[in-house]
């Protein structure tokens, strides 16, 4: 590089965030229903359905329960049938998530300049971003960028790409209001994954982890008309690929959609790359306060790819489940929604419930966002959280006002409120108490062991 990899005064802010989960919540029993209804007993099926009970996930958000017609045909649905559900049940979620983000951003729809979108569960031309723009009523020309091939890292990849595009507008002294949208409808792939488990007798755990979600953020370059207050300032990012790990993590196209590729090496590979990526991220972001040096000095919005990804990060970085409280909470209550998860985690992190679980009772000003995707790639970013903004669907919490009851007043929280937290997130906001993740520690060990013993021959 001709110049050091540092970030100056970028003036990039996330001024709105929205997540929209579909209406159904799948307990472990739902996958079991499909596995026992359509497939003979076998060693691999038994093993996967066993792991399914101990993923650490209470419920996976989904466009339908186990009785949904799409997963009850004689065969697994085709990629064309998956596309139909993606359009009918997925795109409205993306429009709703985008509406929430835009409302909070206090940006008129006519001011949106770009849409940077991603999905790994659809492949169509025009892409789904076209229909999101149409659903939002965007009439002006917007520069659309639909990212492909990035799997679970897609959410942060949209943010990084949007950041670069926003700076391109900054160079031209033009206003940028970029809508980032991630949409995944993964649960419809259950039959296809169960097919492969049955036919190949492989311990494939994708169907136990993946869920459906749409999420969105609005990124502003600070030029032009006023917006809502920053929710997070974006200070810098890192994007790298771990050499020679293509076969370890992927999502291969198939007539029945995409097939999950996930080897037992993934948790250790991802854990290993965290420390160097974090160091480089820190080097590139100037001017952090002196008390932000170690990983444990920050809060972490980690993509919860699986329980072992989170526990691996804890060991590698010397952080606790409380540092990743929103990652655990999202994972437990909604599962892994691939690219759409990370903005949901960033949204959840700013809630009072999560603040109550902060390590040592201290909510951090700076947050590290992190996700892994096929390649294997790591996407990492440095965020400065605005502690005055809690995600009230556009209404901000004035710092001087008691906001105890604020979140429960908004409809936005219903899909959270409707989730039975069953003690996995304690009611008592004592920082010392066992956090969300601890209840699943035994499960993590189980999963770690199961993954360590994976037999992919």
Residues 6+ apart with CB under 8 A from 287: none
Interface residue with its own copies, options 38, 210, 232, 258 (CB under 8 A): 258
Is 281 in contact with 235 (CB distance < 8 Å)? no
Q: How far is the CB of 366 from its own copies (least distance, A)?
A: 21
Whichever of 153 and 440 has its CB closer to its own copies, that residue is 153
Q: For residues 428 and 433, what is the distance between their CA atoms, to the nearest angstrom?
A: 8
What kind and span of H or E run contains 383? strand 377-385
* Catalytic residue (choose from 152, 180, 370, 381): 152
CA distances from 68 to 53, 91, 219 (A): 21, 18, 36
Question: Smallest distance, Å, CB 339 to its own copies?
Answer: 10
Distance between terminal CA atoms of the chain? 42
Q: Which of 255, 286, 318, 442 binds its own copies (CB under 8 A)?
A: 255
Token reading at 176: 């940028």
Residues in 175-214 at the binding interface with its own copies, rule: CB under 8 A = 175
Q: In this complex, which beta carbon is closest to its own copies, that of residue 175 or of residue 424?
A: 175
Return the number of the residue (66 or 382) whose C-beta is nearest its own copies.
382
- Total residues found in the chain within this entry: 457
The count of residues interacting with its own copies (CB under 8 A) is: 74
- Angle subtended by helix axes 341-349 and 325-334, to nearest 10: 120
Known catalytic residue at 152: yes
> From the list 92, 149, 388, 429, which residue makes contact with its own copies (rule: CB under 8 A)?
149
Applying CB under 8 A, does 388 fall inside the site for its own copies? no
Select 335 or 375, whichever has its Cβ closest to its own copies.
375
241 binds its own copies (CB under 8 A): yes
Would you say 115 or 357 has its CB closer to its own copies?
115
Choose the stretch contacting its own copies; rule: CB under 8 A; options: 93-101, 222-230, 267-275, 290-298: 222-230
- In this chain, which stretch among 30-38, 43-51, 131-139, 421-429 interacts with its own copies, using CB under 8 A? 131-139
Closest separation between CB of residue 261 and its own copies, Å? 8
Using rule CB under 8 A, residue 108 touches its own copies:
no
Report helix, strand or coil for 238: strand
Q: Which of 28, 167, 421, 434 binds its own copies (CB under 8 A)?
A: 167
Rounded to an integer, what distance in angstroms lies between the CA atom of residue 428 and that of residue 351?
15
Shortest distance in whole angstroms from residue 246 CB to its own copies: 6
- Per the structure block, which two tokens stand in for 202? 């492989």
Question: Using CB under 8 A, which of 40, 74, 137, 141 touches its own copies?
Answer: 141
**Is there a contact between 222 and 11 (Cβ–Cβ < 8 Å)?**
yes
Cβ 333 vs Cβ 58: under 8 Å:
yes
Given 27, 92, 135, 168, the residue binding its own copies (CB under 8 A): 168
Which residues have C-beta within 8 Å of that of residue 87, sequence separation ≥ 6? 122, 128, 131
Chain centre to alpha carbon of residue 279: 23
Alpha helices per DSSP H over 172-246: 190-200, 206-209
- Residue 218 found at the interface with its own copies (CB under 8 A): no
Determine, following the binding rule CB under 8 A, whether residue 79 of this chain makes contact with its own copies. Answer: yes
Q: How far apart are CA 405 and CA 417, in angstroms?
A: 13
Cβ 32 vs Cβ 152: under 8 Å: no
The reply to whether 3 sits near its own copies by the rule CB under 8 A is yes
Q: Which of 230, 306, 373, 435 binds its own copies (CB under 8 A)?
A: 373
Query: What's the rounded Cα separation, in Å, for the pair 400 and 417?
Result: 26
C-beta of residue 295 within 8 angstroms of C-beta of residue 338: no
Q: Which member of 26, 115, 163, 234 binds its own copies (CB under 8 A)? A: 163
* Residue with the two structure tokens 């020309």: 141
Point out which span in 1-9, 52-60, 342-350, 399-407 binds its own copies (CB under 8 A). 1-9
Subset of 80-99 contacting its own copies (CB under 8 A): 80, 83
Output the smallest distance, CB 10 to its own copies, in A: 8
Query: Is residue 275 involved in binding its own copies (CB under 8 A)?
Result: no
- Binding residue for its own copies (CB under 8 A) from 37, 148, 293, 422? 148
Which residues are identified as catalytic?
Answer: 152
């Amino acid at each position: 590089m001709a110049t050091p990899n540092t970030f100056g005064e970028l003036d990039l802010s996330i001024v709105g965030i929205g997540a929209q989960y579909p209406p159904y919540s799948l307990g472990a029993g739902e996958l079991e229903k499909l596995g026992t209804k359509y497939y003979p007993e076998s060693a691999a099926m038994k093993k996967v359905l066993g792991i399914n009970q101990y993923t650490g996930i209470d419920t996976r958000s989904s466009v339908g329960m186990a009785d949904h017609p799409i997963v009850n045909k004689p065969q697994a649905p085709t990629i064309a049938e998956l596309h139909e559900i993606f359009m009918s049940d997925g795109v409205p979620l993306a429009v709703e998530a985008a509406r929430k983000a835009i409302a909070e951003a206090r940006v008129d729809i006519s001011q949106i300049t770009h849409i940077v979108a991603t999905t790994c569960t659809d492949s169509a031309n025009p892409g789904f971003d076209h229909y999101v723009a149409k659903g939002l009523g965007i009439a002006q020309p917007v520069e659309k960028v639909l990212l492909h091939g990035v799997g679970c890292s897609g959410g942060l990849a949209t943010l990084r790409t949007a950041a670069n595009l926003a700076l391109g507008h900054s160079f031209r002294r033009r206003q940028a209001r970029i809508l980032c949208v991630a949409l995944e409808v993964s649960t419809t792939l259950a039959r296809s994954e169960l097919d492969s488990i049955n036919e190949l007798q492989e311990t494939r755990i994708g169907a136990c982890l993946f869920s459906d979600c749409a999420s969105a953020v609005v990124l502003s370059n600070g030029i032009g008309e006023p917006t809502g207050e920053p929710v997070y300032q974006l200070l810098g990012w890192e994007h790298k690929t771990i050499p020679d790990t293509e076969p370890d993590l992927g999502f291969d196209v198939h007539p029945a959609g995409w097939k999950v590729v996930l080897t037992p090496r993934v948790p250790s590979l991802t854990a290993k790359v965290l420390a160097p990526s974090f160091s480089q991220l820190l080097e590139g972001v100037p001017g952090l306060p002196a008390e932000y040096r170690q990983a444990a000095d920050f809060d972490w919005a980690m993509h919860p790819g699986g329980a072992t990804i989170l526990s691996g990060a804890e060991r590698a970085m010397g952080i606790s489940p409380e540092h990743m409280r929103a990652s655990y909470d999202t994972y437990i209550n909604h599962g892994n929604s691939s690219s759409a998860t990370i903005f949901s985690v960033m949204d959840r992190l700013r809630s009072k419930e999560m603040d109550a679980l902060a390590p040592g009772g201290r909510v951090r000003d700076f947050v590290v966002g992190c996700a892994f995707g096929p390649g294997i790639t790591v996407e990492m970013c440095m965020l400065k959280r605005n502690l005055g903004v809690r995600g009230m669907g556009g209404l901000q919490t004035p710092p001087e006002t008691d906001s105890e009851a604020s979140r429960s007043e908004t409809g936005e929280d219903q899909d959270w409120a409707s989730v039975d937290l069953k003690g996995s997130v304690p009611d008592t906001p004592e920082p010392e108490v066992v956090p969300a993740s601890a209840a699943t520690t035994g499960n993590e060990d189980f999963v770690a062991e199961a993954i360590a013993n994976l037999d992919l021959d």
